[in-house]
Amino acid sequence: MIRNSVFFWLLYLILVPVTNAQEESLSKKMEASLYMEQLQDSLGPVKVLHAEPLYIDLIRDLGARKGEREWNIGLGLTDNLTFDTYEALVEYEFAPVDRLGLEIEIPFLIYAAQPNTSKDTIPSSKMESLKLGIQWTFLVNELAATSMALGYIHELEFNNFKEFGNPLFTGNVYNPFFIVAKRWGTHFHSLIYTGPVFEQDFLDHSWQSRYELNASAHYMISGTSNFVGVEFNQSFEPHDFDMTIRPQMRVSITENVLVGIVVGIPVNRENERFSSFLRLIWEPKDPLNNK
């Protein structure tokens, strides 16, 4: 009798924690699945949830639905060898029709000399450019949790503040790009954003080109839009290669307001040290479906 009681309690102590752990794991999976279904299966065409990188961000979500829109304010600081670069941007993106995103952005660059550095040796501060972008998601495969898109960004570069208006514009930047993103299960996300960049200088009539390859991987927390991850921003030029690794996280403040925090760690950059970037994201409610 006593032996049977001991056996029963030992069996209970072994099975109950295992059952609780299984139930907790199942609960988390169900919570994550319900959250994805809520985002993906609302009114509109099929859309797959993907984690969007914070530094090289997309022009609306992949598979964007008509009426979606978003405001971004970005602030950044880069520590160079002889000066600091302060970056700021204001960006508005929206989807006029399903799966098509448009964007307008105005970035600013402010340069500050470090001690023992002459101000005449650093770049001049400026409103960097008027940036216009378009992105078309041509493939959404819900079964494979994969999306693909083509896009184009055009920048009309402004002159610096010292010579602003004389002339007003100094060049063009042409940037076609391709995006492929895949979600692995309910938590893990990967994305590649790549394309060439061509720079045209109006003053000396010169052209420069480079190729950019931006890869990212993220882990999204169950039942939320919060994530942690990393970007690998790579630039290939003739006889030169630069890469910056950017660990990052995104946190929801309210239902429609998020904050992204990014740290930049340069690899093989001769004149740049660590950097940081903060992105404030506001998604107004969609008037079409009140989301």
Residue-level pLDDT, tens digit, the chain, 291 residues: 544 444 444 444 444 444 444 544 444 454 455 455 555 555 678 999 999 999 999 999 999 999 999 999 999 999 988 889 999 999 999 999 999 999 999 999 999 988 877 777 888 999 999 999 999 999 999 999 999 999 999 999 999 998 988 899 999 999 999 999 999 999 999 999 999 999 999 989 999 999 999 999 999 998 889 999 999 999 999 888 999 999 999 999 998 999 999 999 999 767 778 999 999 999 997 655 544
CA dist 209 to 113, 175, 200, 269, Å?
Answer: 28, 10, 9, 18
pLDDT of residue 223: 86
Q: What is the CATH number of domain 48-282?
A: 2.40.160.40
Neighbouring residues of 98: CB distance < 8 A, sequence distance ≥ 6: 44, 45, 64, 65, 66
pLDDT of residue 62: 96
Q: Is 238 exposed, middle or buried (0-12, 13-18, 19+ CB in 10 A)?
A: exposed
pLDDT of residue 26: 47
pLDDT of residue 209: 96
Evaluated on CA atoms 14, 16, 21, 25, the torsion sign reads: positive
Q: How many residues does the chain have?
A: 291
pLDDT of residue 90: 97
